[in-house]
Amino acid sequence: MKILIAEDDERIAMLVKQGLEEQGHLVTATFDGMSAKNMAVRNDYDLLISDIILPQLNGLDLCREIRLVKPELPIILLTALGTTDDKVEGFDAGADDYLVKPFDFRELLARVRAVMNRKNSNIIAGNSFITYADLVINNQTKSVTRSSKVINLTPKELKLLEYMVQNNERILSRAEIADRVWDTHFDTGTNFIDVYINYLRKKIDKDFTNKLIHTKQGLGFIFTEEKNDHKE
């Protein structure tokens, strides 16, 4: 793969670059956000790995601006900021994954493989529709409607919704959602899964009598038309 790294710490950038090149990838490193933006827009990369704290243009704004031009480019954010709010902000900016420093390089490689596998799966299923009750997800246009009403979702909200719809009528634990949607182990010290469930409920269920996202106390969540232990 052709990979672009945006990291202002040159030592870290070179270590990551060398490790990825040893895996057979073609890697370019840059040390500020504006250069990374220009390079990502002008060239065809398979993946962007970016720090959040960058000179000229921070990683979050870099992510947002690239999403306007190349919405399908996979992006992994690297940062020392690891709170729930930091992770939510990163995902809302359009990141596909979020890795907290310091990290084991083997974990970065696993995240790279997971993101690319997900991208390839999306390409294969790109022409299909996912439907449940009055909800329709168009995988080609990445649009969502419920009872013909357009619902605007962030990339991570959409991925969470897709997974829940594809696994409807089944209880999904927080650990499973973290693993399958975020490709990460669930950290019991944060509640970012619950944050995104609440985001999704406000958009998918709030204006409709028939609720689809329900809580099973002590177990997780279930996507169903049947009445459950729903908790706002």
Q: How confident is the model at residue 190 (pLDDT cuts 50, 70, 90)?
A: low
Q: How confident is the model at residue 51 (pLDDT cuts 50, 70, 90)?
A: very high
Which DSSP state fits 115?
H
Region 19-30 average pLDDT: 91
C-beta pairs of 189-192 under 8 Å, 24+ apart in sequence: 190/83, 190/84, 190/87, 191/84, 192/84, 192/87, 192/88, 192/91
Domain span at 38:
2-124
- Residue 65 has a pLDDT of 92
Distance of alpha carbon 64 from alpha carbon 42, whole angstroms: 16
Q: What CATH number corresponds to the domain at position 108?
A: 3.40.50.2300
- Residue 161 has a pLDDT of 93
Q: What is the pLDDT of residues 133-170, one digit of tens each?
A: 889 888 778 889 998 899 999 888 998 999 898 888 88
Low-confidence winner among 68-77, 92-101, 181-190 (lowest mean pLDDT):
181-190
pTM assigned to the model: 0.57
- Closest C-alpha to 41, from 78, 2, 82, 69: 69
- Residue 119 has a pLDDT of 60
Q: What residue type is 47 in one-letter code?
A: L
- Residue 185 has a pLDDT of 63
Which DSSP state fits 172?
B
Q: How confident is the model at residue 39 (pLDDT cuts 50, 70, 90)?
A: very high
Q: Which of 124, 140, 162 is the last residue of a domain?
A: 124
Looking at the domain assignment, is residue 232 inside a domain? no
On whether both 107 and 165 belong to a single domain, the answer is: no
In the chain, the percentage of residues whose pLDDT exceeds 70 is 88
Cβ neighbours, 10 Å, residue 92: 17
Q: What CATH number corresponds to the domain at position 189?
A: 1.10.10.10
